[in-house]
Amino acid sequence: MNYLKLVNFEVNRFIKIYIVLLGITMVSQIAGVIVKANQYVGDVNQAIYEELTPKAEFLEMYGQISMGMLTRSMWFTGPIALCIAALLFYLFLIWYRDWFGKNTFIYRLLMLPTARLNLFWSKITTIFLMVLGLVAVQLLLLPLENLFLRMIVSKDFRMDLSIIQIIDQSGYMSVFIPTQIMDFFINYGIGFMVVVVLSTAILFERSFRFKGMFLGIVYGVSCTLLFLSPILITELIGVGANYFYPNELFLIELALGLIIVAASIYVSHFLIKRKITV
């Protein structure tokens, strides 16, 4: 079984739960737009037609509704937080479920005629495919939700925003949907590093059990401290943010990130090949 078949196998094992997460996100966000927009229209009608508040005064008090405002409601943040929590949980489940249960399935996987490191890469790839899939669905949802908002609220009472403006105004969306290509590589590069380090920590625990749990925690904390060391050193010596130029700090963090990823891959390869036996 080659790498691509392993990825397909891992995706198929999670696809039902993944579709449920996508469904919850879609239903919640679309329902949120409809509910919030209708509530706003209700407030407009009550203020202007019942309380006889001038339109200009209403807009001065409450402002126009926009998709940027709606993305900060629980209708949006709730399902997104649920998806993030589910994927973080799955990062551990994707490893541990193969060891537990009626049959220790991991031993069948380890005996497959393929490089053991392919198991490592297939699980990490699956996590990233799931993340990118959620991001793609969110990007498809935003124009549709924007359309619903325009259908419900008249132009005078809404602020039309581009997709980039919606992402920027939401605040949190710009983390996983960066509007700048460099931010994309930085954010997802850090995410990739975190996934690799956590997977290595899990392999420590699986290789040495109780002692491995301690080693995994130490390894994870050490990688975190190493990556944050330029910032921590700057804070400790009390010279503020001007100790490193932005370009210098970026290059240092890039180098540290590459070292951490390379070391984690090497250690994971050693553990899965030498310490986890069938």
Looking at per-residue pLDDT, the higher value among 204 and 247 belongs to 204
Cα separation, 214 vs 223, in Å, equals 14
pLDDT at 179: 82
Give percent of the chain with pLDDT exceeding 70: 91
Residue 114 has pLDDT above 90, yes or no: no
**Bridge partners for 158 per DSSP:** 65
pLDDT at 197: 94
124: exposed, middle or buried (C-beta count within 10 Å: 0-12, 13-18, 19+)?
buried
Residue 53 has pLDDT above 80, yes or no: no
Mean pLDDT of 170-177: 84
pLDDT tens-digit series, residues 142-173: 999 999 989 998 888 888 888 888 888 888 88
pLDDT tens-digit series, residues 63-81: 888 888 888 889 998 999 9
Contact between residue 135 and residue 177 where contact means Cβ atoms under 8 Å apart:
yes
Q: How many CB atoms lie within 10 A of CB 119?
A: 23
- Taking phi over 0 as left and psi of -120 to 50 as alpha, with beta for the rest, 209 belongs to left
Q: How many CB atoms lie within 10 A of CB 104?
A: 13
pLDDT at 194: 93
Top-ranked range on mean pLDDT: pick from 4-18, 105-119, 122-136: 122-136
* Signed CA dihedral, 66, 71, 73, 79: sign only: positive
* Signed CA dihedral, 189, 195, 201, 203: sign only: negative
Contacts of 247 (CB under 8 A, 6+ apart): none
Mean pLDDT of 194-208: 89
Q: How far is CA 153 from CA 34, 59, 132, 169, in A?
A: 10, 13, 32, 19
Residue 277 has pLDDT above 70, yes or no: no
* Structure confidence at residue 104 as a pLDDT band (50, 70, 90): low
pLDDT at 107: 67
pLDDT at 239: 53
Q: How many CB atoms lie within 10 A of CB 203?
A: 24
Cα separation, 71 vs 17, in Å, equals 24
